[in-house]
């Protein structure tokens, strides 16, 4: 099942809200022994429909799992307390507050100057912090994700209008 352009455009808007409220996404893979592994990734960048990449930094176990061919699931949750408070008061969400993406990863590769520049633009407001270079100074490698399924996360009657 492919992700169509309309779904992808809506996802991009939600992904911006996820990053704005929590600064990360969670990527789930499977370890060699079959146990689950979840890694927070701050650098997820969405490209064309079904295509994304992230900078592979500090992700040793995730990298091993992806090198072995593990499938991936990406979770993004809009963590804004005001969104959740408004939705709880209203008894429903006005748009899906979370999503899952399912797919596979490509090979780890050297990042391009354009990819680095895109990420640096996204984080320009954090450039002055002491932690910026410690977390985001090494943008040498990316991992592409090829995503074939987009699933909104359901929260019972709170999200029934999206089913």
The verdict on residue 38 lying in a domain is yes
CB 73 within 8 A of CB 104: no
The verdict on residue 55 lying in a domain is yes
- Taking the C-alpha atoms of residue 93 and residue 18, their distance in angstroms, rounded to an integer, is 15
- Taking the C-alpha atoms of residue 81 and residue 83, their distance in angstroms, rounded to an integer, is 5
The verdict on residue 163 lying in a domain is no
Host domain of residue 54: 5-153
CATH, residue 133: 2.30.110.10
The verdict on residue 140 lying in a domain is yes
The verdict on residue 76 lying in a domain is yes
Cβ within 8 Å of residue 82, ≥6 positions away: none
The verdict on residue 158 lying in a domain is no
Task: Quote the pLDDT of residue 131.
Answer: 63
- Stretches in the chain below the pLDDT threshold 70: 1, 20, 123-128, 131-137, 163
The verdict on residue 159 lying in a domain is no
The number of folded domains in the chain is 1
- Taking the C-alpha atoms of residue 53 and residue 142, their distance in angstroms, rounded to an integer, is 6
């Amino acid at each position: 099942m492919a992700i169509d352009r309309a779904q992808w455009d809506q996802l991009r808007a939600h992904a911006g809200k996820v990053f704005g409220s929590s600064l990360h996404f969670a990527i789930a893979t499977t370890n060699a022994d079959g146990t689950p592994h979840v890694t927070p990734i701050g650098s997820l960048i969405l490209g064309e429909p079904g295509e994304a990449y992230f900078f592979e930094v500090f992700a040793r176990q995730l990298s091993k799992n992806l090198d072995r061919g593990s499938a991936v699931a990406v979770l993004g949750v809009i963590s804004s307390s005001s969104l959740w408070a408004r939705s709880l008061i209203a008894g429903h969400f006005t748009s899906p507050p979370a999503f899952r993406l399912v797919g596979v990863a490509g090979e780890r590769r050297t990042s391009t100057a354009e990819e680095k520049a895109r990420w640096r633009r996204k984080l320009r407001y954090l450039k002055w912090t002491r932690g910026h270079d410690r977390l985001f100074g090494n943008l040498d490698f990316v991992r592409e994700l090829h995503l074939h399924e987009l699933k909104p996360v359901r929260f019972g009657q709170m999200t029934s209008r999206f089913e």
